Structure 1
């Protein structure tokens, strides 16, 4: 997640730097930038350039500044509102699909504040269909149906989930088993359903949830053991609450194509691995990739795990886990749009 923090007062700016310092140590935060004063200008910029905005200001200033920018719960960024004293963190826009509710709880925990969340499913301890989709990195084909499904969930009705019987859906079963929010579902199977889809049905209404491609990029020292690479892999997906069965692909640079540790990891996890040509890596550009002078001097590319993951996740992909080191192993994770 790319986060912009916008503040107005001197006290708010001090709080912004405190929050940024904490978020910079979070591997799930790809970047965090601070903007001070010139609220309308900075909010207008951040609205389209960042995944989330933390607005440290009065709610009236925030609402008036973003009113003309709001378009859709599918595309609008997550926006949370924090008072200057850091007493309350309020989920203001895109609570579910945008991730504002989750970010609200995270920031409130970091600064010891009270989180304020008002979405109906959350306050009634129910699992919204859009929350399920976001948590499992699934696209929703018909977002207009979200309201109907969440209303049914609030009323305790049962949702039917239709799956392909030949696909491993352990990630879905584990999620439903461990989730503390209430939802009533029945699981059915049909070979007519594409393997990368989950069809949710109720009262003649249907939503198709399609898996985004999740790609784990790996870099490592020569001869690194499979067990060490596995340790970094498991720690990174744990940070994102991703089940290993939800990962679609492992990847690295072609210079690692003979690395036994990576090849053995692919076999052990039963997840395919692909290696990216050096020429593709040399041509690839992204503002989100961390540049390594050492890797550049040795192989002529700026990095391995981040660009490999982004390339293999496809056009317009995004990092959800920045390059993180684990004892000679680097891991980055990207998803398709």
Structure 2
């Protein structure tokens, strides 16, 4: 899925008309505007050597690109850079008179469709959106995954299959854990058939299950599990503990609480562990942030957990995993702490 990039929107324009339109747009939406050297004015940056080179830089740096100009020019300069819709930034093209706002790339996961709608609203025109689910007025599995911050095994294949079923008016059910009701109710579910009981399914061609569970009961139809990233893990460990040891213990702790590993949202520890190779590799392997907390931040919640004099003398606070998990999930801890092989793990769930 699309990698989070450090900056938001880059706008690129090549003509005086494009600069004029860019000035209208940037008053309503934060963005970094680029144009060629001869057109630069306050609030604009010059292209870095050339238009093509600037596009190449922006493609990897920004989460969304807006081109003001011809669609053909945008396509030609972007073509060598494209990876797939799961990684490419959102791309929107606007003609310099502001009459057409076209969602060109990464409409769902990248957010180009929503950006096109927003820009069209600013300009008072209709967006040009061609993705099949939007044209057929149904939701999309990849959009739902983004709204839920969720993951899925074999995501690419599932998106292709489920979205095709939805636009073909096949009966695709949607079931979710009761604890996720508030979140799911705010998502786009057009075209899905709500399922309330997995033991009594209506007539369906397929089913998408939104859950944190590691397993589901056997189901008689094709089904996919969409797993929101809600689980956090506070972790303390001896210096030099290998990633393989920490990973095995974390997986065991997740399994003990019947949680799918895809639900992991973040891990956290104390500041002295910020360069701990095992923890950094763990975060990379699970593709989650590694959140670091100061001694003072953890001390605020130290009293809630059993304290170790050895740990306190070593790092300045008597407990690491519990306070770290508490801060990551605002106190919504789950299960029992794991303490083994010099590793402590505390799990929590975000809401």
Q: TM-score range by the shorter chain?
A: 0.5 to 0.7
Contact 1:159 1:202 in 2 (8 A): no
| Structure whose CA Rg is larger | 2
Q: Which position in structure 2 is the counterpart of 1:20?
A: 26
Q: Once superposed, what is the RMSD of the aligned Cα atoms?
A: 4.0
Structure 2 length as normaliser, TM-score? 0.54
Q: TM-score, normalised by structure 1?
A: 0.56
In the other structure, the counterpart of 2:140 is 128
Displacement after TM superposition at 1:44 (Å): 0.7
Alignment of 1:221-240 (within 5 A): none
Cα deviation 1:23-52 (Å, max 9, x = unaligned) = 13xxxxxxx211113321111111111110
Task: State how far apart, in whole Å, the 1-side matches of 2:215 and 2:100 are.
Answer: 37
In the TM superposition, residue 189 of structure 1 has moved relative to its aligned partner by 5.0
Alignment of 1:141-290 (within 5 A): 141-142=153-154, 143-164=156-177, 168-175=179-186, 179=188, 181-188=190-197, 195=212, 205-213=222-230, 276-277=293-294
Contact 1:163-1:188 within 8 A present in 2 as well: no
Provide the residue aligned with 1:50 in structure 2.
62
Partner of 1:85: 97
Map 1:298-309; keep pairs closer than 5 Å.
none
Q: Kindly indicate whether the alpha-carbon contact (under 8 Å) linking 1:141 and 1:210 is maintained by their aligned counterparts in 2.
A: no
The answer (yes or no) to whether the contact 1:58–1:83 under 8 Å persists in 2 is yes
Q: 1:280 to 1:126 in 2, by over 3 A?
A: same
Q: Distance in 2 between matches of 1:196 and 1:202?
A: 15
User: Is the Cα contact below 8 Å between 2:210 and 2:227 reproduced in 1?
Assistant: no
CA contact (8 A) 2:176 2:210 kept: yes
Q: How has the CA–CA distance of structure 1 residues 208 and 186 changed in structure 2, closer, same or farther, with 3 Å as cutoff?
A: same
Stretches of structure 2 lacking an aligned partner (at least 5 in a row): 1-6, 37-49, 200-208, 233-264, 267-290, 299-323, 330-349
* Alpha-carbon distance change, 196 to 75 in structure 1, aligned in 2, over 3 angstroms: farther
- What CA distance in whole angstroms lies between the structure 2 residues aligned with 1:93 and 1:187? 35
Q: Give yes or no for contact 2:152–2:226 (8 Å, CA) kept in 1.
A: yes
User: C-alpha deviations, 1:56-96, integer Å up to 9, x for none?
Assistant: 11011000000111111110100000000111100000001
Q: How far did residue 312 of structure 1 move? A: 5.0
Match of 1:33 in 2: 32
Residues 87 and 197 from structure 1, CA distance in 2 versus in 1: closer, same or farther, beyond 3 angstroms?
Answer: farther
- Cα distance in structure 1, aligned partners of 2:175 and 2:18: 48
State yes or no: 1:102 paired with 2:114: yes
Higher relative contact order (CA 8 A, sep 6+): 1
Deviation at 1:277, TM superposition (A): 2.5
Contact preservation (8 Å) 1:153, 1:184: no
- Cα distance in 2 for residues equivalent to 1:35 and 1:198: 50
Find the aligned partners of 1:123 and 1:193 in 2 and give their Cα distance.
Answer: 25
| CA contact 1:198–1:210 (8 Å) conserved in 2 | no
**In structure 1, which of residues 114, 120, 124 is the aligned counterpart of residue 126 of structure 2?**
114
1:2 and 2:8 equivalent?
A: yes
Kindly provide the CA deviation profile for residues 218-264 of structure 1, in whole angstroms up to 9, marking residues without a partner as x: xxxxxxxxxxxxxxxxxxxxxxxxxxxxxx99xxxxxxxxxxxxxxx
Question: How far does residue 153 in structure 1 lie from its aligned partner after superposition?
Answer: 1.0
- Secondary structure of 2:86's counterpart equals coil
Distance 1:128 1:202 in 2: 22
Displacement of 1:169 after TM fit?
1.4
The one-character-per-residue Cα deviations of 1:256-276 (angstroms, maximum 9, x if unpaired) are: xxxxxxxxxxxxxxxxxx994
Question: Deviation at 1:193?
Answer: 8.6
* Equivalent pair of 1:76/1:94 in contact (CA under 8 Å): yes
Partner SS for 2:58: helix
Distance 1:10 1:203 in 2: 61
